[in-house]
Structure formats: structure tokens, C-alpha cells
Chains A and B, each alone.
Chain A
Amino acid sequence: MKTCDNNFYNKPFEYIYVEDDCAGYAATTEHILSHFPDATLIPIHHYKDVFNRKNQNATVQRNSRQLILAVCKETWIYPGAPVCQDFGNDNFYYASLMMNCIFDCEYCYLQGMYPSGHLVVFVNIEDCFASLDSLLKEHPVYLCISFDSDLMAFENVTGYIGKWIEYCTSHPDLTVEVRTKSANFGAISHLAAPPNLILAWTLTPDYVTHNFEHKVPGLDARISAACLAIQHGYKVRLCFDPILHFPDFKSVYSDFFKYVFDHISPHSIKDVSFGEFRVSCDYIKKMRKLRPASLVLQYPYDTSTGVATYDADLSKTLTDYIYQEISLYVPSDKIYIWKGDNTND
């Protein structure tokens, strides 16, 4: 019996579901499949036949995540949602090249958004560039390409950030943000940094990583990756998101910011952002069902605005404290706060 860590679950990606239409995008499909030579390939007609099955349990599926290769036939580029940080950009969009993430953060909204714990990669990235070509004819675009996944963590398999770097170089009206918790900068370190691509590392204190982030690189690994990116000339943003409330949060965050800015010079980064925990009420209901023992999800958040977040008093305490702490290191014009109205303080 093929056992993985004696826990009876298959290793990740032992099964890959391949949409029939992927045949039309053979180069990317084969490139991805070449990383999983022993996987069992199961042909499917449409990715939703697997990804959108009824009653899937993403928590259990996370023990043995499988990959679905698909062709995106719908919208590639979406306007940014109010719960996202827009960094003062008017034409703020995000693109969904992958659905779901190889990491497993208990607080991740993707659990509420997607019906499955398996990963989908759209293989027709060239069609995404074509959609963007049209949009860029209308106005400049600020685009987040790693919201519904962690593209950097999967870069060895897809090579997609490399393709975005190439696209950015020839499209100066586009600004791309790649958000990540990965330490995998090595996968793109050989590529010249375009001025209009921002690598945004989400950093969290060890307390948060140990308790709520599973299979995620630790703080030191993320900091090292960010430093390396800066050395290679990349624009780097630091995201402290989500800010969580827990016993001793003041001393934990205070020590954390000191540690971060002792290792990453505030002058070397583009900017920082932070935002307290926030998830739409529809999502949190589903997330709580999936993780009944999760302290971060079962906290009785205020849901009166349709978004589950800390109540107004606690929110102010948290925001004021975190802002004050970050201000010790970073000038205020480089600090972006998510406050529900997307204002830049």
C-alpha cells in the first residue's frame, strides 16, 4: 500500500484531472504535467465536474490535494473587491490564473469561496494576456495576480510569474502585484526585475504561523526570500495581513515588527500594508463548518456589516496599535491600512 507518512493519504498531486480542452494548450499542459511523471491522469470534460462537486470537504481534501488542469473560458480579469487593499489605485483588478493554494492557513477566505480543496490551474495564460491587452487600451491597470492562490509557491510547476515578468516588461501601463507567503524566490531570481512588478510578502508573527498557518514557510524563510528579491532589484511590499487579536498581541506584534525591520531595511521596501481579519459573512459560515475547532474562525466576530471582523472598539485598538508600531520604522506615506473604505492613511 502506498502510504504517505503512514497516514494512509495519497501524496499531493498523485491524481491530475485534465480537461479535454487542455489539448489545445499542449505546451503549458505538458510543461505542468512533466513535474508529476507518476501521477494518474484522469480526463474530464469540464473542471467544474470535479471542482464544483456537491458537498466536498476541503478540510479532508487538504490531506491529499489533487490538481485540475483547465481552460478558462470565462472572465479572466475581475474588479477588486472592497475587502481587498487597492493601494490608492483607481483601476484596480485581479486575475485568477489558479484557484486554491498549496498552503493551508486556517483564516484563508478561499475555504469559504471555493467548493473544493483541490487546486485548479488554467493553462491558457496567453488568453489572459489577450484580455489584458484590450483593457490596457482603455486605461492603465493595477492588477493583483496572486489573490486566489499563491503563484510563487507553485512557480516551479507553472512558470507563470516568469511569463508575467516578460509581459510587464513590454506593457509599462500595467502594474502587477504578486502576493506570496512562499520562500520560493529562487524560481524567478534569474529574471531581470521589471519596474512595474511588485513582489508582496505577507509576514506574520511566529505565534500566528504556528497556530494558524499550516505548511507555510516560517517568518525567517519569508524574510530571507524578500531580502533576496530586494537584492535582485525587485520592488518589494510587506503585507501584515490579517492582523489578529490574541492574548499578548501587543508584545507579540511589537517584537515582530522589530524583528522584521531589523532584517529588512524600511528604506529598501516600496511600502507596507496591514489589515485586520475580515471575511464575508457567507464565507465565514462555511469556514466555521469546515474547521469547527479553529480558534481564529470560531471567534465571535462582529457581523453587522456583512463582513465578519472585530467589533469597532477592538478594531480601533488593534489598528491604532499596529499603525503606531509600524510607524516606528516606516514613514506614514508608505503605510497603507485596510479600513473597510480603502483609504490610505
Chain B
Amino acid sequence: MIVILTALRFEATPFIKHYSLKRDSSYKRNELYRNNDNSILLLVTRSGKLPSAISLTEFLTTYKLTPYDHLINVGICGTSATDNIGSVYLCNRILDHDTAKYYYPDMLYSHNFSEAGIETFSVPVNESMTTKESLVDMESSALFVAGSTFLSPHQMHFLKIPSDMLEPDKVSKNDVNTLILDSVPIVTEWIDHLVSLSNAETSAYGFPTSLFPEEQKLFDTISESLRLSVTMKEQLLQLFIYHKLIHGDLSDIDFCPPIGNVTNQKRKILFEDLRQQFLQ
């Protein structure tokens, strides 16, 4: 699953159109959109460090992402260099202006964007302010910090389109719309690659180490009837996982709950018998 994050609704519109995303009306606090097969979601986080971090945190507590899912923050930003305007940048480091702390998204995936560092401010940046990185915005560091609680640094990507030379008031909504629209082909091409990779890796590596309901029932029956200690339960779970890895399921495991009192010695013997069965 790929989750596109934009600060503002108008930054989201071209992507909503491109992917034919539909509004999820059950998600109340922010605008959330999704496509038919749920491979692409889009969340409008609102702008600014705190609002965007809160929106993302709420989203990530609601949706449990796997290591093969990705967040992509797409949006306009300011720049200190004229040449940058209109290009799409993948940020390879993020400076939080307020704390002077740097954050580093993992740069594992190939791309055709330019690269730059970005500095995140709590207030709109203007010419009178000193910047250390060539790009500036008001969300990236906050999204990275909020996302890091739930996700790995290879799952968070920051694509920025510079729109102004630190003169945010001089940029019209129309200019911004054009910039975002122009970026759609290159951004969506990359997103499509990530979707394919995410799907392929989820099916290749997404081996479930949790138990299916039937397996959980067997686990509980064994644990209760043998009165297993916490350590033995851990061992049993490991036996379940190992056996499933080798045989695909647990259909050949044969367990009859013992009748009568299970002494410590009897429990040890029964558990060892079971262990041998699982290791076959």
C-alpha cells in the first residue's frame, strides 16, 4: 500500500484525479481518499508541523502498515535557488529548523528526481530568514518524526516541488496548480514502481508469524490442558511457526487433551512428545 500525504487539498487534487481516488467518508478527522483495491491512499494532513504530525499519527494508529508499505509526502516548497523552481526533488536529508536536528530517510529506491536537503520551519519562510538547506517547507521533519514511531526510514519519502524563492505571498494558487499538475507524470511513474514493489514484497516476504483462528484454538487447547508456563507457551508458539514454515500448516499435528490431573512430570513428558511431533 502507498499512502500519499499532501498538506493541502489543492496539492492532492491532481493525484486524486490521476488515480480515481474516492473519499473515505468513514474517516472523519481528515480527508482520506482511496482507490478500488486499496493499493493507493491519500491523506490530506493540513499544513504546519503540529497539524501534519497529529494527522499522520492518527492515521498510523488506525491503519497498521507493513514493512512493505510506503508513505510519500508530495507538496510544494520554497527554495533559495531559482534554478530549482518546477523540478521535483527527493529529499535525502531533513533539517528541523527549531531543534537543529537532522533526519535521514533511507535512500534505497532508484528514481529520476533531483535530490536536495530540506529544512522544516514552524512559520512561513521569507527572504529575511536564514536557511541552511536549499529547500524549505513546514511539514517534512514533523512527518518524519511522527512516522518514525510506526515505520522504518525506508518507508518515508519526501517529494518536493519548489514554487517560490522564499516569497510565498507572490505565488498564486494557479501557479501552484500548474506546478503540481506538471509533476504528476514523473511522480506517479515512481509511485507505480513502488506499488509494484510493495505488492511483490508483501506476497514474497509477508509470511504470517501470527496464528490463524483455527491454529490459535489449537494453541489455546494445548496451553490450557497442559497448564503451560509462560516460557513453555513461548516455546510452543515457536514450534507452531517452525512447523508451519516447513509444512505450510498444522493439519498433521495430533493432540488429545490428557484426562485427569497433569503433574509437572507428566506435563514435561507430554510437552516433549508434542515437541518431537512438531519437529518432524
Interface string of A1-34 (1 = CB under 8 A from B): 1111001111000110100000000000000000
Greatest chain B CB density within 10 A among A3, A53, A295 is at A53
A299 within 8 A of B: yes
A292 within 8 A of B: yes
Query: Complex Cα distance A59/B108, Å?
Result: 12
Closest to A11 in B: B110
For B109, give its contact among A8, A49, A57 (CB under 8 Å): A8
Q: Is the CB of B104 within 8 A of A298?
A: no
Q: How many residues of A contact B (CB 8 A)?
A: 35
A66 within 8 A of B: yes
Q: Is the CB of A40 within 8 A of B92?
A: yes
Q: Taking chain A's interface residues, is the majority helix, strand, or loop, or is none over half, making it mixed?
A: loop
B93 within 8 A of A: yes
CB interface residues, B 151-174, toward A, < 8 Å: 151-154
A190 within 8 A of B: no
Given contacts A300-B239, A300-B279, contact A8 B148 (CB under 8 A): no
Name the A residues within 8 Å of B151 (CB-CB).
55
A45 within 8 A of B: yes
Query: Complex Cα distance A50/B152, Å?
Result: 12
Q: Is the CB of A15 within 8 A of B92?
A: yes
CB interface residues, A 33-63, toward B, < 8 Å: 40, 42, 44-45, 49-50, 53-57, 59-61, 63
Nearest 7 CB-CB pairings of A with B: A64-B108, A300-B238, A293-B207, A57-B152, A2-B110, A292-B207, A292-B209
Q: Would you give 20 A-B contacts (Cβ < 8 Å), ordered by A?
A: A1-B111, A1-B112, A8-B193, A9-B109, A10-B107, A10-B108, A10-B110, A15-B92, A53-B103, A53-B104, A54-B148, A55-B150, A60-B108, A61-B106, A64-B109, A66-B107, A292-B209, A293-B245, A300-B238, A300-B239
Interface residues of A (CB under 8 A from B): 1-4, 7-10, 14-15, 17, 40, 42, 44-45, 49-50, 53-57, 59-61, 63-64, 66, 288, 292-293, 295, 298-300
Other 5 A-B pairs with CB < 8 A, given A8-B196, A55-B150:
A15-B92, A54-B148, A54-B153, A55-B149, A299-B242
